[in-house]
Structure 1
């Protein structure tokens, strides 16, 4: 069974996120979504998300695409990867900054995971930062 893992903040879910989840799911047998903690978003992006971490988990679950949706761990991004043991990590087209050191970290931990970058879906329309600006 091929496990696919994706991760992100998934605040203000939109069609681009749905497309991302569906494309990631096609890569394997099960899709595991890790939703970033509020504290991680605050330290990484410098602001709190519109929806708290538990609400964001519920929003992703309600889509009915993922086989598992869970929160990441505070301070240890590797723990969830080690627990899920994915065969593939699918990255969004815009997840460059999230993934710095991902390949090296996997090698250091002897994790054999294929990393796949997925194509964008209408980024001129469905991009979280654009949607956030339009509602602020």
Structure 2
């Protein structure tokens, strides 16, 4: 069985997240998703929803077999526990495939790294970004 890992923040789920996870699932038979801990999110604004709520929402999605919270100190702990065949990055995630592959190799973790495809909006105004959803909420409700 080919085991796949996807990872991300998954704050305020939207169609772009579902596309990413569906694309990742198509690369294997079993999809595990690692949800970043709020404390570890440093490349963008902290999530609005707490860690467990984000994990529970992701776990409820059809493509997902298991959802896990990331480790607070060591990125590789859940990767070692899951033992994936492939890690699939989101099309716009800030991670670099070659750098991640080298880090996995240094850790003795044998798996490939792939990148999910992008999803274009299906209609004008469709929001595929948590930041854009928050901006729209603020425009309309604040």
- TM-score by length of structure 2 reads 0.86
The answer (yes or no) to whether the contact 2:97–2:113 under 8 Å persists in 1 is no
Equivalent position of 1:121 in the other structure: 119
Distance 1:98 1:129, change over 3 A: farther
What secondary structure does 2:114 align onto?
strand
Q: Matched residues in 1 for 2:91 and 2:61: separation?
A: 21
- TM-score by length of structure 1 reads 0.89
Equivalent position of 2:34 in the other structure: 34
Q: Where do 5+ consecutive residues of structure 2 fail to align?
A: none
Q: Which has the higher helix share?
A: 1
Equivalent position of 1:18 in the other structure: 18
Q: Matched residues in 2 for 1:62 and 1:91: separation?
A: 20
Q: Where do 5+ consecutive residues of structure 1 fail to align?
A: none
Equivalent position of 1:55 in the other structure: 53
Computing the radius of gyration over CA atoms, which structure comes out larger, 1 or 2?
A: 2
Please list the CA deviations of residues 86-127 of structure 1 after superposition, one character each: whole Å capped at 9, or x if unmatched. Answer: 001111111124768311111111222111111111267312
Moved over 4 A (4+): none
The answer (yes or no) to whether the contact 2:87–2:114 under 8 Å persists in 1 is yes
